[in-house]
Structure 1
């Protein structure tokens, strides 16, 4: 099996100035696809990437327009021969909103030099990974040793109807392996494959006890306080150690790599002297076990509090669960825990919200082995594997469209890149090594591949047309919801 050639590594090093310049151009575009943000910058980013793909030698580029979402770039490079494998490359070109810009050390859409890299909103999540895909294509001058299908999504961060589209058009997304580049390394300098994604579900808990607030001096002590009822119910979700106490939620030992406690405390910004919650390894708590977080609470604020018994309170819960647990089962277990509760005799109103499945990748196939070797060669150290508590809804859609394809999750991000936070940044070393790893992966995979493959059944309902850049119209409709 041929090592990633020195010529390819040298080629990537020679391409880095151009790749970095294109990353700056892309990161300067405020391509936020959330409601209330203009669509123009998203279209501008789309047009830039179409041009960069064509410049990289990709002749077949299409635009997929689904209702209620930003355009998807779809492109193909045919296999160099009939027995060569086909690899699907995925990233997204939209970004999170910048948030409170006063917390940024430089304007979020003005790419700014930092030690060893660049700072800007979306530069790590996920524009560096888009550029990494382009870097591999440039290194092979548009003629890689595998067939390539490219999917650059334009509304991943907000949530998109595209998540469910691939299974309706399986022939388009049929492939032997896919590289989902929407994450990265455990830490800078540690090549990492992500093998599991926790699933997610939401539940809302409401309590109403009085028609309206009543004076706490005159009525407190007998009038039922809705906030106290809600807090007593929420307190049952965890045991004395902080472990989730809902029966039936799957939890198992974590055998892969993980953070040290010191690393995690720094990454999470845990205040000095405050302990971490839960028991067992960090990997078990973060990736192979459940977590329940109160992500929203409707109750009187401290600054505007009146001396009154609270008549109404509501909380929104976010449940993360084992990659192999069914999302509806996991959500039902949480509902079944909460619904019978009647703190102080007061019933709860418990409502199911959205769910999203987890994913666990195969790790015994030729693509996984090729990727593990390629990452180790690019970084010069052994490849680690981790899971993530976040979710990438499209992974399941693509996996359903190509059920026999191996799914590989790696990229140019790292745990300290501040994705979704102020002062997001990417390191040039991680970007360069990701491009080298991509090149090494397709070389190894092509040389060791034996034709297998799978297809599916066709389906509707998108507008698909050759992409000529600017001026193409978007379909209209309602907005998607994030997972």
Structure 2
């Protein structure tokens, strides 16, 4: 573990933000560093670029007749955001109270290093064939993934796929992620005028675009805060112990602010549709003037049930918005991005061995969880490799704060993740052919 941690710190120091506004040389450097780590473990490695950021594919055969396992992670990271909100520099890994702080320390460079650690644990006696696939643009939507799967899919084909980009139920309580919500992102644009006009002269008669947009956004939820778009699927989450006190602690919900929606808390977060307005194009408070706006737009992110069709969900959203247009305003609803959800049939020998490996590493049985966020590449792998058992695992815990300031990795949990993956490879190697 000391060398695994040292290599993780070195990876975390590379600011491999994959957004176009950031220097792509850092993502290239991260790909090269990942490739070097895999080559050192005896893998035959190539860096592939299919129109986007570089991905790394490493392969090493197992004993004759053994199973093949594909290990997935990603080496790109989110932007650090406002560095003033960090307690230590985001790209200088820093240990405090048993946690490692840094952008990408958990999401997902710890996933990369968990795979490397499992390979190191077995040395020259690898019990299964292994393919390691480390993507370079997961944080910007994996646009190249369909092409990679089309052109390099046979290199990635495996009996089991371990996708290390999720988390555990709590510190000391491992989990397998068996459901993920899908995502539909759309832009709603409202127009009422061909130019801005004085609000004192025409206000009270002429509707402005922001007034229309606010009405449309309000129509997306009922009085309880449930998504009001009709016809969307809903599921029921696993019955795990999760109360409002834990919700408040983990989310930072302010005192006096009530949760929205109906149904169990986990159902609301994991299997029911929800919608968030994530951006609005309108004048800022600091630069505003007394003007009726001719046009205003909002970007909304709608999470959908794991088994919902993403294109059908967008059409229902679009129809609902257009059905609530007030005062004859001109409104357009455009699809910005979409991704399917995922629901695993988490039964069979591979899942049995995974649960046993988790139990051996943590000393307690894992639970099956859902995740309210979306990881569209999981559905892409499930579609491309329908016969493979897909295990969604990860290193995060409820205090990881992935994508936010002070992202961190619980180091004791990370060690258990590494151990569990090494044990999983051993158990899969021991399964009868």
Q: TM-score, normalised by structure 2?
A: 0.95
Is residue 186–residue 258 contact of structure 1 (8 Å, CA) maintained in 2? no
From 245, 268, 280, the equivalent of 1:297 is 280
Quote the residue 1:376 is aligned against. 359
**1:399 aligns to what?**
382
Give the equivalent residue in structure 2 for 1:64.
48
For the 8 Å contact 1:320–1:389, the answer to whether it is kept is: yes
How far does residue 169 in structure 1 lie from its aligned partner after superposition? 3.7
TM-aligned CA deviation for residue 31 of structure 1:
1.5
Q: In the alignment, what sits opposite 1:38?
A: 23
Aligned residues of 1:80 and 1:147 also touching (Cα < 8 A): yes
User: Could you tell me which residue of structure 1 aligns to residue 237 of structure 2?
Assistant: 254
1:143 aligns with 2:128: no
Which residue of 86, 99, 122 maps to 1:117? 99
The answer to whether structure 1 residue 161 and structure 2 residue 143 are counterparts is yes
1:218-261 per-residue CA deviation (whole Å, 9 max, x = no partner) reads: 32211112222221122111111001111111112212536432
- Residues 449 and 156 of structure 1: is their aligned pair in 2 closer, same or farther, counting only changes over 3 Å? farther
CA RMSD of aligned residues (A): 1.7
Corresponding residue for residue 236 of structure 1 = 219
Corresponding residue SS for 2:226: coil
Residues 230, 151 of structure 1: CA spacing in aligned structure 2 closer, same or farther, 3 A cutoff?
Answer: same
Superposed, 1:84-483 pairs within 5 Å as 84-164=66-146, 165-257=148-240, 259-450=242-433
Per-residue deviation, 1:421: 0.7
Where does residue 38 of structure 2 map in the other structure? 53
Cα distance in 1 for residues equivalent to 2:329 and 2:59? 59
Q: Which runs of 5+ in 1 are unaligned?
A: 1-15, 451-483
Q: CA deviation at 1:444?
A: 2.1
Task: Name segments (4+ residues, structure 1) moved above 4 Å.
Answer: none
Return the offset for 1:324: 0.8
Deviations 1:261-281 (A, max 9, x none): 222222222111111111111
Partners of 1:195 and 1:387 within 8 A in 2: yes
Asked which structure has the greater RCO (Cα within 8 Å, sep 6+), the reply is 1
> Within 2, Cα distance between the matches of 1:300 and 1:41?
34
Relative distance call for 1:422 and 1:406 in structure 2 (3 A) is same
Query: What TM-score, normalized to structure 1?
Result: 0.86
Aligned partners of 2:70 and 2:158 also within 8 Å? yes
**Cα distance between partner residues in 1 of 2:221 and 2:278:** 15
Residue 107 of structure 2: SS of its match in structure 1?
helix
* SS across alignment from 1:48: helix
Q: Equivalent residue of 2:183, what SS?
A: strand
